[in-house]
Chain A
Amino acid sequence: MSVEVRIDPTLCRGHAICALFFSEGIELDQWGFGKVTVAVADTPRDVRRARRAASACPNGALVVRDRARRPAGDDARP
């Protein structure tokens, strides 16, 4: 199970709550706007933390989506 993590920059208002919940996958710039450093979370712990961060964002700016299943034989971890 792996998920894609993205921030909608048009919704992000720099509350920085995502970085508290998913510090290993999101870093903050000088104004507190988030930048995703782990675009694909693929350990159960990261997936859990990314989902928690997404539900904590007051603006719904953190998008966590299941990755589309790839054809067999295709490496799911590029």
Chain B
Amino acid sequence: METARLAVGIPLVVINAGESEPASRKDRFLCATRPHLVLDGAALLATALGVDEVVVHLHRAPGSPVGRLEAAVAERLRHCADDPGWRLSAGPDRYVSGESSAVAGFVDGGEARPRFTTLPLAVAGPSGRPTVVSNAETVAHLAVLARTGPDGWAARGVPSSPGPRLVTLAGAVTHPGRVLELSGAATVGDALLADGVVAPPAAVLIGGFAGTWVSGEVAWQTPFTRDALHCVGAQPGCGLLGVLPHGACALTETARIVSYLAGESAGQCGTCVAGLPRLAHAWAGLARGDLRRRGVRRMSALGDTVEGSGACGHPDAVVRLIRSTLDTFEDDVVRHLAGRPCRHADHPPVLPVPDPACRDGRDDPGMWR
């Protein structure tokens, strides 16, 4: 933000409420139930940067809270004289179209695809203007911070990460899609307990589809803070807690996610286009029990090639998920490599992964507008 303030030109401020993670609900939840909190925070950001217009970006998705935001904006036009001008933007509902450079590009009249940038967005976005893309949760928290003051804010977190955090529950929980606010050093276990899950599950996928699997026992005791998650190799990401029950196959779940993510490539960078479907194919083989040790080595080498090769972090995210699955479920991988049919492979799907086959118009060139 400081970079954008010091950069040349009037900054473009975009609030990103386009929640790309299919299983995450926190931004939708905020915009639907606390739209004024999001807009208050956005107005504060606009004042700090000295701009008179803010764009709120959403995805054109079923259940998108665009109507609620429109109503909130109409209310503010009547009552809040100090507000910046509001513009709502509705973009395509694709996984990578929520990436910040994709959002910035779309808002600026281009395609909602990630861009190769040589300068940070805050220095020069697609329009040449310094561009700040801020998440809906972040600005909502800004509004909370302004109301409670720094001390009240700090009291709701821990010293290393002040303030509360939002998580979405998915998978084997009582209320999939439920959004919870965690404060202080609340653990993943506390979040699950609040939803009626009383014992550690087999594993938890933390941070989104591009996140990290952590074994249930470890995750249960881990506070949902950046530092604590880092210690177990995870990061908060979009705040997703995907719960894998005992008796389900993590490799099969991961296969569904990898295949979905491979289909969500923006189709721009060669290594992503060529590499992700091969990774998905190899992983599907592992999940079925068709892959041998040599195949896993080839898959890891392919992961090394793909990592860091794209304009955005999409390929890296797929590689991270694959590596974390290989690490966390070593014993399962060994069983699958032995070609023994996995006992749990027939378990019904746990995580709400969209079926790639159901995507309409995937090859339509106009789908990024």
Contacts and interface: CB of A to CB of B under 8 A. Distances in A.
Interface of A: 4, 6, 8-14, 29-31, 33, 35, 63, 65
A4 B311 CA distance: 17
A2 B311 CA distance: 24
B310 interface: yes
Interface of B: 115-116, 118, 268-272, 274, 305, 309-311
A30 B275 CA distance: 10
A9 B305 contact: no
Contacts of A65: 118
B269 A10 contact: yes
Contacts of B270: 9, 12-14, 31, 33
A10 B118 contact: no
Contacts of B310: 9
A33 B118 contact: no
B309 A10 contact: no
B309 A6 contact: no
Contacts of A6: 118
Nearest to B270: A33
Contacts of A35: 309
Given A31-B274, A33-B309, A9 B268 contact: yes
Interface of A is mostly: loop
B337 to A, nearest CB: 24
Contacts of A63: 118
Nearest to A65: B118
15 contacts: A8-B311, A9-B269, A9-B270, A9-B271, A9-B272, A9-B309, A10-B115, A11-B116, A12-B269, A12-B270, A29-B305, A31-B271, A31-B274, A33-B269, A33-B274
A10 B271 contact: no
Nearest to B305: A29
A30 B298 CA distance: 12
Given A14-B270, A33-B271, 6 more contacts: A4-B118, A8-B311, A9-B272, A10-B311, A29-B305, A31-B274
Nearest to A10: B268
Contacts of B271: 9, 29, 31, 33
A57 to B, nearest CB: 13
A9 to B, nearest CB: 4
B332 to A, nearest CB: 29
A29 B309 contact: yes
**Closest 6 A/B residue pairs (Cβ):** A9-B269, A10-B268, A8-B116, A33-B270, A29-B305, A10-B311
